[in-house]
Amino acid sequence: MSTESVFLNNYHHSTNADIVEKLVSTVPLHEGSGRVINSEHAIGGYKGNAPDDPSTAIASTKISADSNLSIATATGFNRDALTVMTSDSMLADPEAMLTNRFNMFSRYGYIDPTHELVSGAREYLFFSKPDLHLMDVKDGGVILNPQLASNPFFREAFDHYRFSFYSLQQWYGYNSHPFQDFETRSKFIPLLSNMVTSSFDLSDISANEVQGNQNLYQINTSYREGSITADLQYDFSLEFKDTKYLDVYMLFKIYDEYFRYKYEENITPNRKEYSQYKIVPEAFSIWKVIVDDTSRIIFWAKATGVTAMSVPRGAVSNLDGTIKFTVNFKTQFLKDMDPIHLLELNNLAVQSMTSIGKAYSFAKDVDEKVWPGKRDWVAFPFVKMLKFGSDLGSFTRTGDVSGKPMYRLFWRVPNL
């Protein structure tokens, strides 16, 4: 008899007839065992015929030196034990709970912490960088776009809010990076991701309907149409905190002044492809990614064609301690749970890393000695698609037999 049998074959006969009548189970724990559990204290399943005296099973079992004594073995808490413990209760085995929810009806309610409890959920917002023509590269250095040089505001912002300037422009020319303290080749705006303090509230999806013809009795019927308009032209707002130098405020102020000046003067696009292919370089994208405490992605959405529609000038009327303000945005397209958008997020990270030309590793693989004191600060997000049987096989949902990957948010850091 194996070590496991010490715990799996233990049982206790009740001498109370009322208890036996209420708690007896008529379902064998193992197919072909020929035994049923007639105890209110059953802690394991039987393999074969169980002895009448539990001491017989213990005495007849020898624990070998090479036995694999796991926690489940030592406690007898295996799947069969869980089935017995939760029978005729509001709890159920996770697999059974999933099956019951879709195929049966609950008379008295149920408790399902495995599938319904969300712990440690966190939302990340990632902002792609627009491409305003604010600066040019000349003689190995950066200069203000000559078309903006006559504007006093842009000259002032260029001198004192250079990092906010850099956060709004992608293209400086091929292989051009004339900066030391700012990575302009990144396609993201980390400043906004780090300073946003509110959630990205999404609108509900509502379908349209079309009215049918009215009959002789003045009765109308309607027919459901699609809900595509719910994903178009969506207005939303986000709250940001700011530094005492108003770096975030000035980012949105520069963005607004660029649009204002664009309609007063002729500003040449940063790249001719924008005019050729009718691309709006001032628009950007926002990814909303919600993960649980294991970084498994629960929900994601992407707003495409986003523009900032306001400058929070009123928020700086009375500064007291922390500076916070709300900015209004408008997106042309909003969609959620489309896996293509996760690929687009990865693609933006890969473009950034390729442009920078450094080698990057996943943060979890970097030793503290290699990346000292900086593991809380990472370079780029990256979504991994975990297949069954991987080193993180626990990130598969109950009942999923498709073999297709699940998603988890990882982080990339440069190799030093």
Indicate whether 15 pLDDT > 60.
no
pLDDT per residue as tens digits for the range 340-352: 999 999 999 999 9
Q: For the whole prediction, is pTM greater than 0.85?
A: no
From CA 51, how far away is CA 61, in angstroms rounded? 12
Span of 229-238, 359-368, 372-381 with lowest mean pLDDT:
359-368
Reading phi first (left if > 0) and then psi (alpha if -120 to 50, else beta), residue 319 is in: beta
Question: Percent of the chain, pLDDT > 70?
Answer: 67
Q: How confident is the model at residue 365 (pLDDT cuts 50, 70, 90)?
A: low
Span of 50-59, 75-84, 201-210, 213-222 with lowest mean pLDDT:
50-59
- Residue type at position 291: V
Chain mean pLDDT for the chain: 76
Say what the pLDDT of residue 283 is.
Answer: 96
How large is the average pLDDT for residues 376-380?
85
Q: How confident is the model at residue 81 (pLDDT cuts 50, 70, 90)?
A: low
pLDDT per residue as tens digits for the range 170-203: 988 766 665 667 888 899 999 999 999 999 999 8
Indicate whether 38 pLDDT > 50.
no
Using alpha carbons, list the distances in angstroms from residue 288 to 65, 297, 307: 53, 11, 16
pLDDT per residue as tens digits for the range 103-143: 888 887 777 776 777 778 899 999 999 999 999 888 777 88
More confident site: 62 or 222: 222
Using alpha carbons, list the distances in angstroms from residue 328 to 136, 231, 248, 255, 309: 29, 17, 14, 13, 5
Indicate whether 308 pLDDT > 70.
yes
Say what the pLDDT of residue 401 is.
Answer: 67
Using alpha carbons, list the distances in angstroms from residue 387 to 221, 224, 289, 393, 396: 48, 38, 20, 7, 8
Indicate whether 47 pLDDT > 50.
no
Say what the pLDDT of residue 347 is.
Answer: 95
Say what the pLDDT of residue 44 is.
Answer: 39
Domain ranges for the chain = 3-86, 122-335, 358-416
Say what the pLDDT of residue 282 is.
Answer: 95
More confident site: 235 or 4: 235
Query: Do residues 306 and 286 make contact, with C-beta atoms less than 8 angstroms apart?
Result: yes
Say what the pLDDT of residue 214 is.
Answer: 87
Say what the pLDDT of residue 387 is.
Answer: 57
Say what the pLDDT of residue 78 is.
Answer: 53
3-state SS track over 219-264:
CCCEEECCCHHHHEEEEEEEEEEECCCCHHHHHHHHHHHHHHHHCC
